[in-house]
């Protein structure tokens, strides 16, 4: 099957390309480095020739809410229009568990718009909501790290491995559109503060973590907001196993 992957050079996109290729599919990587610009539509029609499904793992450049929403809107509208012209039969969108609950930041606002556009479009679709990835805690903490101190909200999450997410996206893309897919999550629940401390320790970094609600995430995201629903697909890789891989990489 000929499948296009949008955001093919990103964390999830690159893994999805690899997962699809391992199963013998003809994969078309779509990214600016491949000559395709979703914000202008340049290169899209040629890239989608003969494509049966598209996996959308697009991420937006860092920016404020208005610019992020505008980016996701332009890119998604151009992509869906090109898919319709090419006769693509399945649009698979990577999304976020709890997206429509809790607080709003720039990325979540953009993803909400992206979901609405896909669900209202004419291309048959599947939206795959996943929990945050195993490296999420360290990523969030790094945004505020200064002089060896980082701030992070004490959120409850059920993190998932990027490779497991890519495997699910690859499987969904080769099947029939399902509409809203059930939530995808890792096997264990963790506190974001503890995750950040353990990740930095595994990386050999000395960072003091300060729990706070005054940063990127507030009390609107507390409790079960970021946790999956009851009908959840549990991916196999634990956070502890991922930490072991981090330690192995550092030691190599």
DSSP E strand boundaries for 153-228:
156-157, 179-180, 184-185, 190-191, 208-211
Which pLDDT does position 214 carry in this prediction? 83
pTM for the model stands at 0.94
Average pLDDT by stretches of 10, the chain with 252 residues: 96 97 97 92 96 95 90 97 98 95 86 97 98 93 90 95 97 98 97 95 94 85 92 97 95 90
Tell me the three state secondary structure of residue 99. coil
The token pair that represents 248 in the structure block: 């192995």
Please provide the CATH number assigned to the domain covering 2-251: 3.40.50.720
Q: How many CB atoms lie within 10 A of CB 85?
A: 11
Distance between CA atoms of residues 60 and 63, nearest Å: 8
Distance between CA atoms of residues 99 and 229, nearest Å: 12
Which pLDDT does position 60 carry in this prediction? 86
Distance between CA atoms of residues 108 and 173, nearest Å: 23
The token pair that represents 77 in the structure block: 């509208």
Which pLDDT does position 84 carry in this prediction? 98
Which pLDDT does position 135 carry in this prediction? 93
Q: How many CB atoms lie within 10 A of CB 240?
A: 12
Contact between residue 73 and residue 120 where contact means Cβ atoms under 8 Å apart: no
DSSP E strand boundaries for 61-152:
91-96, 125-130, 149-152
Distance between CA atoms of residues 177 and 55, nearest Å: 12
């Amino acid at each position: 099957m000929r499948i296009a992957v949008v955001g093919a050079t990103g964390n999830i996109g690159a893994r999805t390309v690899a997962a699809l290729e391992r199963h013998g599919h003809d994969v078309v990587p779509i990214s600016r480095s491949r000559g395709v610009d979703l914000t202008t539509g340049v290169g899209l029609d040629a890239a989608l020739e003969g494509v049966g499904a598209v996996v959308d793992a697009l991420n937006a450049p860092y920016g404020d809410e208005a610019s992020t929403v505008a980016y996701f809107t332009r890119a998604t509208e151009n992509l869906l229009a090109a898919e319709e012209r090419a006769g693509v039969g399945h649009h698979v969108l990577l999304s976020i568990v709890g997206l429509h609950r809790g607080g709003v930041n720039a990325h979540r606002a953009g993803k909400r718009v992206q979901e609405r556009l896909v669900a209202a479009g004419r291309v048959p679709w599947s939206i795959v909501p996943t929990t945050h990835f195993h490296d999420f805690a360290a990523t969030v903490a790094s945004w505020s790290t200064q002089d060896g101190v980082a701030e992070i909200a004490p959120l409850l999450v059920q993190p998932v491995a990027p490779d497991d997410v890519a495997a699910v996206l690859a499987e969904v893309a080769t099947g029939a559109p399902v509409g809203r897919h059930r939530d995808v999550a890792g096997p264990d629940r963790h506190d974001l503060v503890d995750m950040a401390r353990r990740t930095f320790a595994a990386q050999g970094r000395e960072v003091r973590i300060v729990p706070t609600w005054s940063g990127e995430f507030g009390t609107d995201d507390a409790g079960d907001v970021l946790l999956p629903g009851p009908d959840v697909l549990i991916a196999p890789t634990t956070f502890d196993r991922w930490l072991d891989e981090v330690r192995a990489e550092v030691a190599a």
